[in-house]
Amino acid sequence: MTEQAIRPAVVAGAPILVVNDLRKRYGSLQAVDGVSFEVAQGEIFGILGPNGAGKTTTLEMIEGMRPIDGGTATVDGVDVARDPRGVKARIGIQLQASAFFDELTLVELLDMFGQLYGREVDELALLRDVELDEKAGSQVRTLSGGQKQRFSIASALVNEPRVLFLDEPSTGLDPQARRHLWALIRSIRDRGHTVVLTTHYMEEAEELCDRVAIMDRGRIVALDSPQRLVDDLVGRGFRKERVERLANLEDVFIDLTGHELREGEA
Amino acid sequence: MRRRLTLFWVLFVASVKMFVRNRLAVFFSLFLPLVIMLIFGVLNFEGGGSVSVGLVDEADTQVSRALVGAIESVDTFELSTGDRQSELAALGEGERDVVTVIPDGWGEAEDGPPLTAYVAASAQQSGQIGTLILNALVAQVLIGEQGAGVGPLVAVETVNARDLGYIDFLVPGILGLTIMQLGLFGVAFGFVQMKRTGALRRLFATPTPAGYFLSAQIASRLVLGLAQVGILLGIGMAFGLNLVGSLALLLAVALLGAVIFLGMGFAVAGWAKNEDQAAPVANVISLPMMFLSGTFFPRDAMPEALRGVTEFMPLTYLNHALRTIANEGAGPAEIGGDLLGMAVWAAIAFLLAVRLFSWE
C-alpha cells in the first residue's frame, strides 16, 4: 500500500465527525499514531484493518470511552475531550452483543437505556425497526446471535443518535443474518443517521460503506470509496492471478439455502 | 433533581429485577439461609414457648412441698421431677431449660442453703423467665411460711448444655449468615458477570455517570437484605423466637453488617475477571466464617486457640451483636465492642473495594 491511495480525508458536505491527529500510547506501543478523517452526515463510513491496527482504540477515543493522549475529535460540533458526556448523548454505541443484563426483558432494557439518556422511549416501535417486536417480553439470553446483534443496535438507537458506531456488527453471524443486518444498517442510514463501523469482512465493507479508511499500525494507510481504492490498485498495474469468477461460494450458499433468516436454534 | 430521582428509581427497580431473576444469586444469598433455618427450626421445634423445668426436692419438708406445689401450678412450666443426677444430665442433654434443686435444710433457717437454679447457657431466654418465676414463687412461699424477708432467694448457675437448634440462638446467626451471603455472593456473582459480558461498559457508553448504577445496585442489595431479615424474623417467631431487644437497633446493626460484606463483594468483583475466579475467593472468605463465627453453635464449644483467632472475624462481631440484641435486649452501649469491630471491618472492606474495583 502506498501513500498515493490516500485522498484528502475531507468531505464535501458539512462533516458531522471531525477527527484530527488523534493519538494514543500504551507503554511503548503507539496504538493510534496521528489519525485524521472526516465523516459527512448520512454517510456509512467503514474502518478496516488487521487486529491490533488501532481501530477499536480510535473508536473508543471518539466515543468518549477512553482518554485521548493527543489530537481532537469533534462530534456534531462537540469536542469529546472537553465534553465526553455531551458526545455520549449525541451518539449511539453498539458494543459486543453479549453486553446486556441477562435477567431483563427487551422492553425493560430499552426503557432503562432510555432513562440513561433522559428520554421516554417507544420500545415497541424500536423493536419493530429491528424486527424483534415479537420478542418484546423475552429476556436477552433467549435470543439467537443475530437477534442479539439487532437488539444491541436497537439499544444504540434509543437516543436518536446523530452518529451510530458499530464495532464488528456482523461477527459470528451466518450469511443470511449478515445480509439481514446490512439491510437494517442501510435503512438506519436512510432515516438520516450517520453510521461508522469497523469490520473484518471486505465484502461487507464493499457492500455497505460509502467510504472506508484502512488502518495499519495505528495509522490510516488509505481512505476512499471502495470502488476508487480498487481502481487505484488496478491502475497501478495489479492483476489477480485468476480472473474473478462470476459467482463465489457464498453466492452458492445463499442460492441453496435462501435469504430466509434462521433463528430457531442458537 | 426530580429527573435524578426518576433515574435512580428506574435503575433501582432494574437492579432488584436483575437480582431476583438471577437464580444462582438468589439461591446462595436468600434461599439457602431460609432452608437452613427451616431445617434447624423443624428439627428443634419446641412449641408453645413453655419453659422446661426439672425439679429436685432434696429437702422434702413442709415448706419445700409448698414450693413444689406452687411450681406445679405454673402453666408456663413443663415440669419433670427426679433426683439431682438424672435431672442435671437431662439439662446437659438440652432436654431441660432450668433445673431447680431444693437442697436439704432449705427454708428451715434464714442462713440455710439457697435454692439453686441451673440454667442452660443455650436457653438463657427460657432460663431468665424460669428464674424470674421461681424467685417470685420462693419469695411468696417463704414470706407465707416465715412472715419475714429473706436473703438471696435463688442462686442461679449457668450450665453449658447442648442445645444447637434452639431458635433463639439460631435466628440471629442465620440473620448474620444471610447478610454475609447477600453481600458477598449477591455482588460478587452479579457484578463479575456484568463485567465479563461488557454490560457495565455498555452503561458507560451513555451520558449517565456510573455512580448512579452503582448506588442503585447497592441500594437494591440493602433493601433486599432488610426484607430478608424481616422474613427470617417472621419465620423465627413462628418457631417460637422471643425477640427481646429493639427491632430498630437489630436492623441498624444488620445494615452495618451489610456494608461490610457489600464492600467485600465489590472488592472480589473488582479483582476477579470472571465467575470462575470470583467463586473460590468468595467461598474462602465465607465458609470459615459460616462455621466458626457462632452461626449454628456457640463459639464456647470451640478449642481455646480457634476461639482466639475467630474472635476478630466480621461475622463473629455481627452474630454476637445480633444475638445479644435479640436474646438479651442489649442497647448500643452493650454491643460497643462489636460495633467498633464492625466499623473497622467496614472501613477495611470499603478501602479494598475502592482499590480493587474496575469497570472492565
Residue A153 has a CB neighbour count (10 Å cut-off) of 24
pLDDT at A177 over 90: no
A65·B204 Cβ contact <8 A: yes
User: How far does the CA of residue B200 sit from the closest CA of chain A (Å)?
Assistant: 8
pLDDT in tens, B155-175: 776 665 434 346 778 888 989
**Dihedrals phi, psi of A120, to nearest 5 degrees:** -85, 135
Element (H, E) at B57: strand B51-57
B145 confidence band (pLDDT: 50, 70, 90): low
Chain A contact set for B16 (CB, 8 A): none
Q: Tell me which residue has cell 453466492.
A: A251
pLDDT at A210 over 90: yes
pLDDT at B128 over 80: no
Cβ-proximal residues to A110 (8 Å cutoff; 6+ apart), any chain:
A121, A123, A126, A127, A154, A155, A158
A90 confidence band (pLDDT: 50, 70, 90): very high
Collect all residues from B whose CB is shorter than 8 A from any CB in A.
Answer: 3, 6-7, 10-11, 14, 17-19, 21-22, 193-194, 197-199, 201-209
Q: What per-residue confidence (pLDDT) applies to A266?
A: 41
- Residue in chain A closest to B208 (alpha carbons) equals A116
**ipTM rounded to 2 decimals:** 0.81
Cβ–Cβ < 8 Å for B127, B157:
no
Cβ–Cβ < 8 Å for A88, B205:
yes
Q: Which of B6, B8, B12, B206 to mutate to test the interface with A (most CBs of A within 10 A)?
A: B206
Q: What per-residue confidence (pLDDT) applies to A73?
A: 96
Alpha carbon distance B121, B184 (integer Å): 32
pLDDT in tens, B225-263: 888 888 888 888 887 777 778 889 999 999 999 999 999
- The average pLDDT across B94-105 equals 83
A115·B10 Cβ contact <8 A: yes
B11·A65 Cβ contact <8 A: no
pLDDT in tens, A7-39: 445 555 679 999 999 999 999 999 999 999 999
B203·A116 Cβ contact <8 A: yes
Alpha carbon distance B127, B161 (integer Å): 12
- The average pLDDT across B63-68 equals 84
Mean pLDDT for all residues in chain B:
82
**Dihedrals phi, psi of B86, to nearest 5 degrees:** -70, -35
A108·B203 Cβ contact <8 A: no
A116·B198 Cβ contact <8 A: no
Report in angstroms the alpha-carbon separations of A125 from A107, A115, A154, A182. 11, 17, 10, 20
